[in-house]
Amino acid sequence: MEEVEVLEKHGVKKRALISILCFLIAIILGMILSYFYVPKISLHGNRVIIVDINSKYVDKGCEATYQGKSISKDVKMTGNVDTTKPGTYKIVYTVKKGVYEKKATRTVIVQDMDKPTIELTGKEESYVCPNKTYQEEGYKAIDNYDGDITDQVVVTNKDDKVIYSVKDSSGNETVAERRIIYKDIEAPVITLIGSQTETIEVGTKYKELGYGAIDNCDDYLTDSVKVSNNIDINKPGTYEVKYEVTDKSNNKTTITRKVHIVEKATKGVIYLTFDDGPKQGTTNVILDILKEEGVTATFFVTNSGPDNLIVREYNEGHTVALHTASHNYKTVYTSVEGYFADLDKVKNRVKRLIGKEVHIIRFPGGSSNTISRKYNKGIMTTLTKEVQNRGYYYFDWNVDSEDAGGTKTASGVYKNVTKSLSKKRANVVLMHDIKPYTRDALRDIIHYGKENGYVFKSITEDTPMVTHRVNN
């Protein structure tokens, strides 16, 4: 019995050994077979690839071999990658040789890797009145995949900050901040009732026309405006009324109104005025006559004529005033800037010759001219105000010699002037020192004035303005 058992035990051991051996042989045979008869695939590039949404995906392909030879061209590829949609995509490479088939798989993950953007309306530092609360100025959130996600923005307040955060559908988060500064940095605004330049006669009481003041934080501030002035109503000149107001945060605004105190309109005065010069041959003779007669006048000069005649006008006690450099209607009346650019040219010429800045002016054609309409309708309304805001005094006339119109003789000029003179007012006489008949009529006009009790004066900044009604 024992022997049989031993023998049987031996038999079991033997069979196990054989089966292990067979198994090993089978594996080895399988390996040999698979080496020779099963195709192989190896991927180019990684087995798992992550690509950004909307980018371009290019598959790198694979290498397939059979019995050591390349059969890559026999590989069939299935599956595709849609980079416009986030997700996990599989690409399967299959190659078949006889009964043997081999597969390889690549995983492509399309992901939105870009954060949304948050754009704030207004500034990243927002000043808010200390007595007010911040009013949201607005924001916009845009994602490369989800589009407009403004409605998903979460707005929270933390300390002095407003925090805006938003996540796109792929979980990419963006945070933006706005700093709120509770401080009033805006100065109040003062508005004047009436014009910026007031003209009153000497001895007349100055009456404040009124004003208003408003502040972005403090609202109504009119009652806090401090008004002061240095006006001496008994002395002709230009004075300033100062308006000053400070808001609760110490922002200060100061504005001024000019008050021009002029002499009383002297009745029976003649202001002889000559436009468009100087011109050799006429202006020089006119200056001789004025000198001989002991009369001073006013010359509204342009940029024409010789410099020395302007110097003479000034040295002999006349008023040199400005009439624009070009006297070209298109140049001076097309725009406000064009007018002042041209006026500056003649102002600079005069300053160079007489050493001072002149503020007495006459508009080409007068303030009532209708020619300017052709270039810029309404410009005279603007200019007549603007010149005064810039410190100029403009003079028209109330006696027209018509020497720039239909009258072309000395006797005609004489008649036009003398018939219009009045003892009941100040007479501003329009003449042109470039006209020979005006030159020839001048002595007789002066004689007429003297014989009839008129006084001749030149215009100064303190002469009451004589102006026309604007007509544009």
Binding positions for Zn ion, rule: CB under 5 A: 275-276, 364
Quick one: 91 or 301, whose CB is closer to Zn ion? 301
185 residue type, one letter: I
CB of 276 to Zn ion, least distance (A): 5
Quick one: 143 or 275, whose CB is closer to Zn ion? 275
CA distance 247 to 224: 9
Quick one: 363 or 414, whose CB is closer to Zn ion? 363
Quick one: 172 or 401, whose CB is closer to Zn ion? 401
Q: Which residues are registered as beta bridge partners of 103? A: 94
CB of 275 to Zn ion, least distance (A): 4
Quick one: 215 or 275, whose CB is closer to Zn ion? 275
Residue found under tokens 């002889």: 272
CA distance 222 to 353: 47
Instruction: Answer yes or no: are the C-beta atoms of 444 and 304 closer than 8 Å.
Output: no
**Residue 469 token pair:** 């009604």
**Residue 360 token pair:** 């007495």
CB of 324 to Zn ion, least distance (A): 8
CB of 284 to Zn ion, least distance (A): 19
Using DSSP, state whether 412 is helix, strand or coil: helix
CA distance 264 to 426: 10
CB of 360 to Zn ion, least distance (A): 15
- The per-residue DSSP string of 43-85 comes to ESS-SEEEEETTS------EEEEETTEE-GGG-EEE----TTS
C-alpha distance from residue 361 to each of 311, 322, 333, 465 (Å) = 18, 5, 15, 11
CB of 289 to Zn ion, least distance (A): 21
Helix, strand, coil abundance in the chain, percent, nearest 5: 30, 30, 40
Residue closest to Zn ion when measured from CB atoms: 275
Quick one: 275 or 440, whose CB is closer to Zn ion? 275
Quick one: 79 or 365, whose CB is closer to Zn ion? 365
CB of 395 to Zn ion, least distance (A): 12
